[in-house]
Amino acid sequence: MSQTLIESVSAIIVDLPTIRPHRLAMHTLQQQTLVVIRLRCADGIEGLGEATTIGGLAYGNESPESIKQNIDSHLAPLLIGQDAANINAAMQRLDKAAKGNTFAKSGLESALLDAQGKRLGLPVSELLGGRVRDSLEVAWTLASGDTAKDIAEAEDMLGIRRHRIFKLKIGAGEVSQDLKHVIAIKRALGDSASVRVDVNQAWDESQALRACQVLGDNGIDLIEQPIARINRAGQVRLNQRSPAPIMADESIESVEDAFSLAADGAASVFALKIAKNGGPRAVLRTAAIAESAGIALYGGTMLEGSIGTLASAHTFLTLNKLTWGTELFGPLLLTEEIVQEAPQYRDFQLHVPRTPGLGLSLDEERLAFFARK
């Protein structure tokens, strides 16, 4: 056991350029900020993890800076000297001592899983019980803010066979303008693509009731988080009335949230994210709740880079059913890589490595260059 003690944990903030501005209801990304976690063990093995959010504090309760601070000051000291090979005990220790902080905990658990996989010579998907698929369908988000540009971007993606599912980010503008934008894109793409929307909580129930009807009538396949996470009664009513399925995203900030959403009948699809739930194993618990309640699953992203994307991917490979596919395109939104083996996308799928751990190693030079000074 002394061989597998955790010797150090570091959290590095990394700022990377994006291929274009990415416009969401609550924030426009001009670049993306990752928090990369390096967990070193006495046997010389290093585990990699990532804790990434969107737009500082615009999306969730943790920012890149608070994630780093809380890891440095509170979470890393709890792990140093503990056995890296016992992931249950390490995560229990964090959960007992620290409330919330699911993004930071997810990055740390990913690093523990990566280290243990490397130690045992197994991919993380095998540590989590084994994969039932080798690749994952990946949606692309159209969020340039311009209808014609979005249509051109979607047609390019269809042409190169990279994506055939498109998620449109709406909610920043007038509802009527947003609906025109969505309908124009669906008409242009027709049956060659699945078109879905993510409102990121921007509507109130009165707006959402009508808008969901229009979206469903115009062939939109899925409506993600139309109203505020705190309006549970409104979510239940919308879920009963909308002709297109409603997916819960921001409403799920914990496994317990997933349980109460399922009990209330507030959504028919869950967006799973390792960061929102507190790590890959918490996602598996959320998935079990959904499956028992007859709720369908979707593999979500916090627009992580390659490390967080593959930690999510290994987890999603193990799920019994993944009806709505995934949106694990984060690395493709970035112009730069900080790992040596960029994730492989082809034929509409992300192909997940079978090498030990997450299947990644850092490009030390690129990491040093993009690390925030």
Residues annotated as catalytic (active site), given as ranges: 169, 327
Alpha carbon distance 18, 22 (integer Å): 8
Closer CB to ligand MUC, residue 102 or residue 116? 102
Of all helices (H) and strands (E), which one includes residue 360?
none
Alpha carbon distance 338, 370 (integer Å): 8
Closer CB to ligand MUC, residue 118 or residue 169? 169
150 forms part of the interface with ligand MUC (CB under 6 A)? no
CA distances from 330 to 32, 112, 285, 338, 343 (A): 10, 22, 24, 13, 10
Alpha carbon distance 229, 267 (integer Å): 12
Number of residues that bind ligand MUC (CB under 6 A): 12
Of all helices (H) and strands (E), which one includes residue 77?
helix 76-79
| Options 257-265, 300-308, 338-346, 349-357: segment touching ligand MUC (CB under 6 A) | 300-308
Residue 102 in contact with residue 286, Cβ under 8 Å?
A: no
The DSSP-derived string for 166-224 is EEEE--SS-HHHHHHHHHHHHHHHGGGSEEEEE-TT-B-HHHHHHHHHHHHHTT--EEE
Least separation, in Å, of the C-beta of 120 and ligand MUC? Answer: 32
Closer CB to ligand MUC, residue 9 or residue 221? 221
50 forms part of the interface with ligand MUC (CB under 6 A)? no
Alpha carbon distance 134, 132 (integer Å): 7
Residues 54-93 that bind Mg ion (CB under 5 A): none
Closer CB to ligand MUC, residue 110 or residue 326? 326
Closer CB to ligand MUC, residue 116 or residue 268? 268
| Options 73-81, 148-156, 279-287, 299-307: segment touching ligand MUC (CB under 6 A) | 299-307
109 forms part of the interface with Mg ion (CB under 5 A)? no
249 forms part of the interface with ligand MUC (CB under 6 A)? yes
Residues 170-229 that bind ligand MUC (CB under 6 A): 198, 200
Least separation, in Å, of the C-beta of 143 and Mg ion? Answer: 11
The site partner of 301 among Mg ion, ligand MUC, none (C-beta below 5 to 8 Å per kind) is ligand MUC
Q: How far is CA 154 from the centre of its chain?
A: 21
Least separation, in Å, of the C-beta of 235 and Mg ion? Answer: 14
DSSP label at 303?
-
Give the residue from 103, 112, 107, 92 showing the smallest Cα distance to 6: 112
Closer CB to ligand MUC, residue 143 or residue 274? 143
At how many degrees (to 10) do helices 232-241 and 205-217 cross? 20
Residues 206-265 that bind Mg ion (CB under 5 A): 224, 249
Give the residue from 25, 67, 27 showing the smallest Cα distance to 228: 25
* Interface characters, 308-327, with ligand MUC (x: CB under 6 A): -------------------x
Alpha carbon distance 51, 206 (integer Å): 35
300 forms part of the interface with ligand MUC (CB under 6 A)? yes
53 forms part of the interface with ligand MUC (CB under 6 A)? no
Binding-site ranges for ligand MUC (CB under 6 A): 24, 54, 141, 143, 169, 198, 200, 249, 300-301, 303, 327
Binding-site ranges for Mg ion (CB under 5 A): 198, 224, 249
